[in-house]
């Protein structure tokens, strides 16, 4: 007998499915052509290629190094061309447009304001230029028949010492486009507890933050992010797998930290393709997302850096469908998980789930009936 579950979602259905991304770097998602044009306009002379196709492949290959540190070196070129208000505004507008064209309905996009001051901008000018770009991109997407909402997350670089200042900046703009805070950069050697003052400030302000943890470094980083710093979500968090034992007979035992993460419904911002590139995981089939989803962790699927990983939300979903035989119900589950974990107010999250995400998937799930 034919049933709905035997139909794997097609690439085209995946693209139309409403999607939510919580972990996407603004400076990791530029169009290669935009990098080339901005470099020319701003006299940035260090690009490895000024041919769009070659540059696009260069980013993907250079980032595919098996090390987070080398992966991060490629950002010198994107950050390098994002030093003026015009450039920031353009990159943010295109980011919103590209996500919307891929079927993303809600996005939290992060960047580190402190990395965009070389051209003389102030932190405030950086935030306002990016916000203006997001609003412009949302508007252009709407004109093309796509609906998207984009919130910004302000990142502080974990090797630097400006996190309290950036946390204060995020707090100042919390009612105008900035929905939370993050720390990023090389993980080994830079534990999140270096930035306790920033996290404590945000907690006192009842504000939200996520922390890159458990990507290139294991459980101690996750443990600090949660139990010392009080993170609302984990950026990656994929190494939580190190605290889960699977026995030969398939029975599973969670350590204290993994149990805490699951019990407290701590959202994991998983980024499968990025993990392959930085060497955190060796194949899609071996990606912990399969087990974490089965064990009902609060798993979300994300792009991390669309340029460096040559990816989109649709492509991440396609890889997972191919690898784990996921159906539309699984993709809806990831999407609802992400929306539940967003940093915007509860009533807006519920409305997104009930009025946008569930109806979107219901339409797709009914399509097999009319083939």
Ligand X SMILES: O=c1[nH]cnc2c1ncn2[C@@H]1O[C@H](CO)[C@@H](O)[C@H]1O
Q: Which position among 64, 304, 316, 318 is part of the footprint of Zn ion (CB under 5 A)?
A: 304
Residue 158, strand partner residues:
none
Shortest Cβ 344–ligand X spacing (Å): 20
Shortest Cβ 192–Zn ion spacing (Å): 14
> Which two three-digit tokens encode residue 358?
């569930």
DSSP string, 89-119: HHHHHHHHHHHHHTTEEEEEEEE-GGGG-TT
| Sheet arrangement for strand 299-301 | 210-213, 233-236, 268-270, 299-301
Q: Is 287 annotated as a binding residue?
A: no
Is 215 catalytic? The answer is yes
Q: Which of 94, 114, 215, 269 is catalytic?
A: 215
155 binds, among ligand X, Zn ion, none (CB under 5 to 8 A by kind): ligand X
28 binds, among ligand X, Zn ion, none (CB under 5 to 8 A by kind): ligand X
CB 28 within 8 A of CB 307: yes
Q: Is 243 annotated as a binding residue?
A: no
110 binds, among ligand X, Zn ion, none (CB under 5 to 8 A by kind): ligand X
DSSP string, 271-290: -HHHHHHHTS-S-STT-THH
185 binds, among ligand X, Zn ion, none (CB under 5 to 8 A by kind): ligand X
> Which two three-digit tokens encode residue 278?
């930085």
R_g over Cα of the chain? 20
Shortest Cβ 154–ligand X spacing (Å): 10
Of the pair 23, 149, the CB lying nearest Zn ion is at 23
111 binds, among Zn ion, ligand X, none (CB under 5 to 8 A by kind): ligand X
Q: Is 146 annotated as a binding residue?
A: no
Residues of this chain that interact with ligand X (CB under 6 A) are 25, 27-28, 68, 72, 75, 79, 110-112, 115, 155, 184-185, 212, 215, 274, 304-305
Shortest Cβ 351–ligand X spacing (Å): 29
How many whole angstroms separate alpha carbon 121 and alpha carbon 87? Answer: 12
Pairing relation of β-strands 244-246 and 178-184?
A: unpaired
In this structure, the number of other CB atoms found within 10 A of the CB of residue 245 comes to 11
CB neighbours of 273 closer than 8 A, spacing ≥ 6?
A: 303, 304, 309, 310, 311, 315, 316, 319
Q: Is 212 annotated as a binding residue?
A: yes
Of the pair 13, 34, the CB lying nearest ligand X is at 34
Positions at the binding site for Zn(2+): 23, 25, 212, 304
Positions at the binding site for substrate: 25, 27, 185
Positions at the binding site: 23, 25, 27, 185, 212, 304
Catalytic positions: 215
């Amino acid at each position: 007998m034919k049933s709905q579950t035997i139909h794997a979602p097609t690439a085209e259905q995946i693209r139309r499915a409403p999607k939510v991304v919580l972990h996407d770097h603004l400076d990791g998602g530029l169009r290669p052509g935009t990098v080339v044009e901005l470099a020319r306009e701003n006299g940035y002379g260090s690009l490895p290629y000024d041919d769009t196709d070659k540059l696009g492949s260069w980013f993907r290959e250079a980032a595919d190094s098996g090390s987070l540190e080398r992966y991060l070196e490629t950002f010198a070129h994107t950050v390098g061309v994002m030093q003026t208000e015009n450039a920031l505004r353009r990159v943010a507008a295109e980011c919103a447009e590209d996500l919307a064209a891929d079927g993303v309905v809600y996005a939290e996009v992060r960047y580190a304001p402190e990395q965009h001051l070389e051209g003389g901008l102030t932190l405030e000018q950086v935030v306002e230029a990016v916000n203006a770009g997001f609003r412009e991109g949302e508007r252009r997407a709407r004109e093309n028949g796509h609906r998207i909402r984009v919130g910004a997350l302000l990142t502080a670089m974990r090797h630097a010492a400006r996190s309290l200042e950036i946390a204060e900046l995020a707090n100042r703009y919390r009612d105008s486009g900035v929905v939370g805070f993050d720390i990023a950069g090389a993980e080994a050697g830079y534990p999140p507890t270096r930035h306790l003052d920033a996290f404590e400030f945000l907690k006192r302000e009842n504000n939200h933050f996520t922390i890159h943890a458990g990507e290139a470094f294991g459980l101690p980083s996750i443990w600090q992010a949660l139990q010392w710093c009080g993170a609302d979500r984990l950026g990656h968090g994929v190494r939580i797998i190190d605290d889960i034992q699977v026995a030969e007979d398939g029975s599973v035992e969670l350590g204290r930290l993994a149990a805490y993460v699951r019990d407290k419904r701590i959202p994991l911002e998983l980024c499968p393709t990025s993990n392959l590139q930085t060497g955190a995981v060796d194949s899609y089939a071996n990606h912990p997302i399969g087990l974490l989803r089965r064990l009902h962790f609060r798993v979300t699927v994300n792009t991390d850096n669309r340029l460096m990983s040559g990816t989109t939300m649709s492509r991440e979903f396609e890889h997972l469908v191919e690898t784990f035989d996921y159906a539309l119900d699984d993709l809806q589950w990831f999407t609802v998980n992400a929306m539940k974990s967003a940093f915007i107010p509860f009533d807006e999250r519920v409305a997104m789930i009930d009025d946008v995400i569930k109806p979107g998937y219901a339409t797709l799930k009914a399509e097999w009936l009319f083939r």
